[in-house]
Amino acid sequence: MVTTDINILMEFLNLPLGRTDEVFNKFAEIPGAIHRGSGLEQFIYIKGKRENRVLLVAHADTYWDKSYWDTDAPPQTLVGDGIIRNEHGGLGADDRAGCAMIWLLKDMGHSILITNGEERGRHGSSWLMDDNLDIANDINDSHQFMIQFDRRGATDFKCYTVGTDDFREYISRVTGYSEPDRMSYTDIVSLCRKITGVNLSIGYYDEHDENEHLIVAEWQNTLDVCRRWLSDEDLPRFNLKNLSEG
């Protein structure tokens, strides 16, 4: 299992950093995929089949887009001592490692959302919520909560402004992770209007720097935690009753 997991991780990390077509094309192959938009205003949504489902979120774009990178060039990944780097600069683990994790969780019956433009100000998720009300309503009405895989480090979680006290306690208990602060944002801050959301560590560091790297064991740990957690058939719903609680 672990070997297969790492192979998938490497597959995503070796996609071209400066464009997102390959990521979207891969997820578009999943039955039931809804692909809307283009450029930064773009997303893929696949609704899960199980009853107590959650929404799994990652973004296809990387910091190393065409402003920084040859759009046709894949990274030259190197693995040593359990650490993955790009020989020539940024790795794009933010958030290709999150996309790989969702790909490996895709058969558990939960819903999937892959956005674009998170690194440029949450373009895809904001466009979804403003101009795709059928999807916006569905993700908030038919899910228990949201999980985004887009956080540096090993054992952090962040709910930003879209958590409640009881949700934070639940996340801490089921993952063993802790919330360092509530600063910054990611797509769930745009997406969560009726339900809560959390962003989990997936093992990368120095994400906006040429020294960006990923510690495989930390990525694998979050994947294993989520496999155990999300197999629970009775996942609770956490309503976002009051944003001030976050």
End-to-end CA distance of the chain, in Å? 37
What pLDDT shows up at residue 245? 43
Q: State yes or no: pLDDT of 182 exceeds 50.
A: yes
What pLDDT shows up at residue 75? 80
What pLDDT shows up at residue 246? 41
Best CA proximity match to 214, nearest among 91, 38, 120, 104: 91
DSSP string, the chain: -HHHHHHHHHHHHTS-TT--HHHHHHHHTSTT-EEEEETTEEEEEE--SSSS--EEEEES--SSSTTTS-TTPPP-EEEETTEEEETTB---HHHHHHHHHHHHHGGGS-EEEEES-GGGTSHHHHHHHHH-HHHHHHHHHS-S-EEEEEE-SSSBEE-TTS--HHHHHHHHHHH--B-----S--HHHHH-SSB-EEEEE-SEE-TTSTT-EEEHHHHHHHHHHHHHHHT-TTPPP-B---GGG-
What pLDDT shows up at residue 154? 98
Mean pLDDT of 62-71: 75
Q: What does the block give as tokens for 75?
A: 């990274």
Q: What is the mean pLDDT of the chain?
A: 94
Report pTM. Answer: 0.95
Task: Render pLDDT for 1-12 as a digit per residue (tens, 0 to 9).
Answer: 677 999 999 999
Q: Which domain holds residue 171?
A: 2-245
Task: Render pLDDT for 184-234 as a digit per residue (tens, 0 to 9).
Answer: 999 999 999 999 999 999 999 999 998 999 999 999 999 999 999 999 999
15, with CB counted inside 10 A (0-12, 13-18, 19+), is buried
What pLDDT shows up at residue 198? 98
Confidence label for 65 from pLDDT (cuts 50, 70 and 90): confident
Q: How many CB atoms lie within 10 A of CB 236?
A: 11
Total domains in the fold of the chain: 1
Q: How far apart are CA 172 and CA 157, in angstroms?
A: 8
Lowest mean pLDDT among 103-117, 198-212, 232-246: 232-246
What pLDDT shows up at residue 69? 65
What pLDDT shows up at residue 3? 79
Q: State yes or no: pLDDT of 34 exceeds 90.
A: yes
Which has more pLDDT, 69 or 65?
A: 65
Contacts of 213 (CB under 8 A, 6+ apart): 83, 84, 85, 91, 93, 204, 205, 206
Q: State yes or no: pLDDT of 243 exceeds 60.
A: no
Q: State yes or no: pLDDT of 244 exceeds 50.
A: no
pLDDT above 70: percentage of residues in the chain: 95
Q: What does the block give as tokens for 94?
A: 């933010």
Which has more pLDDT, 89 or 126?
A: 126
Q: How far apart are CA 246 and CA 242, in angstroms?
A: 8
CATH of the domain at 95: 3.40.630.10
Confidence label for 67 from pLDDT (cuts 50, 70 and 90): low
Q: State yes or no: pLDDT of 48 exceeds 50.
A: yes
